[in-house]
Amino acid sequence: MSPLKIAVIGGSLGGVSAACLLRDAGHEVDVYERSPVELEQRGAGIGFLKASYRYLVERAGIDLDAISISTSDIIYLGRNDEIVHQSHHPYRFSSWNTVYQRLMESFGRDRYHLNKGSSRVDEKDHSVSVTFEDTSSVDVDLVVAADGIRSTTRHQLLPDVVPQYAGYVAWRGTVAEEDLPSDIVARLGDAITYYVFANSHILMYPIPALDGSVDKGQRLFNFVWYRNYLDGGDLDDLMTDVDGELRSVSVPPGAVAKHHVDEMRATAHARLPRSISEVVRRVEQPFLQVVYDIEVPRMRHGKTCLIGDAAFAVRPHAAAGTAKAAEDAWSLYRHLERSESLDTALTNWESDQLALGASLLSRTRSIGARSQTDNNWEPGDPELIFGLHTPGDAEPGS
């Protein structure tokens, strides 16, 4: 196939991963990001599955140990802070900022265009036109829409597909390892640690520091706490920030209303094991992310394709959201390399990725229900192991 002119809409992890791969294949690639400044997610830890780190390790030549932290065990605590289950299972964890910065170094900034939100795409006979919010436009051979949960591209092409609230949110935050009691660090610093109780669960694990450091003593401890809120008034009140703005997807650090932060800390003190409660209550600026499901019937629309959360937004319980976006990009790269025509490549790519997205969404819905409503989460159940394609395909170096 001849080299293509490609517009990637959305410059987060999935978009930059796609841009790097397609650029490496010889295509002319530009990334268009709606934000006026480079992206940042303070304190967001990610499960680092192979699809997520594959480009950085295989193509950029980065040492996996330089951008992630390896843990050896899965630990469950009881209410009195005792260990009620422990099993050996290796995981990798990184931070959103660490991965984004390394991908940006790989792609470069010359063709990464800020303040370029897409307003619509229009199919033409032999190209597709992208019109931006500033009324400028560009004609390309292929559009890769990686513009996330609030995708304007998906809204235009599939207006009936809207995010479905899962019934709960993720409270999140980080605290410096050096600011935690030494006994907690020694006990839980080489593990992912869970506590499961009625209609809720929380987990924590170490991630790189904001400057990317992975050295012990300089890392961050990251927590994710899933809590149920009724749709409507309860959720709206929670998502109204300190300035009175109602947020639809997330409330960033420093913007969560004080009375909600105070309630969260009080609940942590009253209901969580000491080791986890100490982490939660020491976080200065916790933040919120609403858990949504998005499922699309199509990922390919002429010469436009949807990847990552723009297509399937899956619950975080398999630690595979970032990996799925990266795998969408790798799959697109492979099909473009193998096919003689763009139409054949996109048709085959869509078939593969629709199956993956639907399977992963179904699995994460099931896992979420086990803790948030059904109360039948069992520590040690192999179905709860992280993984993209199946539970347990997350082993470092696999």
What is the tens place of the pLDDT at every residue in 245-288? 999 999 999 999 999 999 999 999 999 999 999 999 999 999 99
pLDDT of 394 above 80: no
- Of 383, 372, 44, 387, nearest to 196 by C-alpha is 372
pLDDT of 395 above 50: no
Q: Where are the strands (E) in 117-260, listed by range? A: 118-123, 128-132, 137-140, 142-145, 164-176, 191-197, 200-207, 220-228, 250-251
Residue where the block lists tokens 């997610």: 41
pLDDT digits (tens, 9 = 90+) for 201-238: 999 999 999 999 999 999 999 999 999 999 999 999 99
Rounded to an integer, what distance in angstroms lies between the CA atom of residue 306 and that of residue 328? 9
Structure tokens that stand for 269 in this block: 């003190």
How many angstroms separate the Cα of 156 from the Cα of each of 229, 278, 298, 306, 311? Answer: 30, 45, 13, 12, 13
Backbone angles phi, psi at 363, to 5 degrees: -65, -40
Rounded to an integer, what distance in angstroms lies between the CA atom of residue 349 and that of residue 305? 10
Query: Domain residue spans in the chain?
Result: 5-61+97-163+294-384, 72-90+165-292
Please say whether the beta carbons of 7 and 144 come within 8 A: yes
Rounded to an integer, what distance in angstroms lies between the CA atom of residue 299 and that of residue 290? 23
CATH architecture label of 72-90+165-292: 2-Layer Sandwich (3.30)
pLDDT digits (tens, 9 = 90+) for 12-41: 999 999 999 999 999 999 999 999 998 886
Kindly state the helix (H) or strand (E) to which residue 267 belongs, with its residue range. helix 258-271
* pLDDT for the residue 42: 62
CB atoms within 10 A of CB 155: 15
Please say whether the beta carbons of 307 and 320 come within 8 A: no
CB atoms within 10 A of CB 90: 14
Give, rounded to a whole angstrom, the gap between the first and last alpha carbons of the chain: 31
The burial of 233, by beta-carbon neighbours within 10 Å (0-12 exposed, 13-18 middle, 19 or more buried), is given as: exposed
pLDDT digits (tens, 9 = 90+) for 289-324: 999 999 999 999 999 999 999 999 999 999 999 999
Structure tokens that stand for 187 in this block: 């006990």
* pLDDT for the residue 396: 40
* Of 1 and 247, the one with more pLDDT: 247
Q: Rounding to the nearest 10 degrees, give the CA dihedral for residues 84, 88, 94, 99.
A: -150
pLDDT digits (tens, 9 = 90+) for 149-200: 999 999 999 999 999 999 999 999 999 999 999 999 999 999 999 999 999 9
Q: Is 303 helix (H, G, I), strand (E, B) or coil?
A: coil
Rounded to an integer, what distance in angstroms lies between the CA atom of residue 94 and that of residue 70? 9
Rounded to an integer, what distance in angstroms lies between the CA atom of residue 345 and that of residue 330? 13
pLDDT of 43 above 70: no
pLDDT digits (tens, 9 = 90+) for 320-373: 999 999 999 999 999 999 999 999 999 999 999 999 999 999 999 999 999 999
* pLDDT for the residue 39: 86
Q: Rounding to the nearest 10 degrees, give the CA dihedral for residues 141, 100, 33, 287.
A: 140
Structure tokens that stand for 348 in this block: 């085959």
Rounded to an integer, what distance in angstroms lies between the CA atom of residue 240 and that of residue 269? 24
**CATH superfamily ID and name for 5-61+97-163+294-384:** FAD/NAD(P)-binding domain (3.50.50.60)
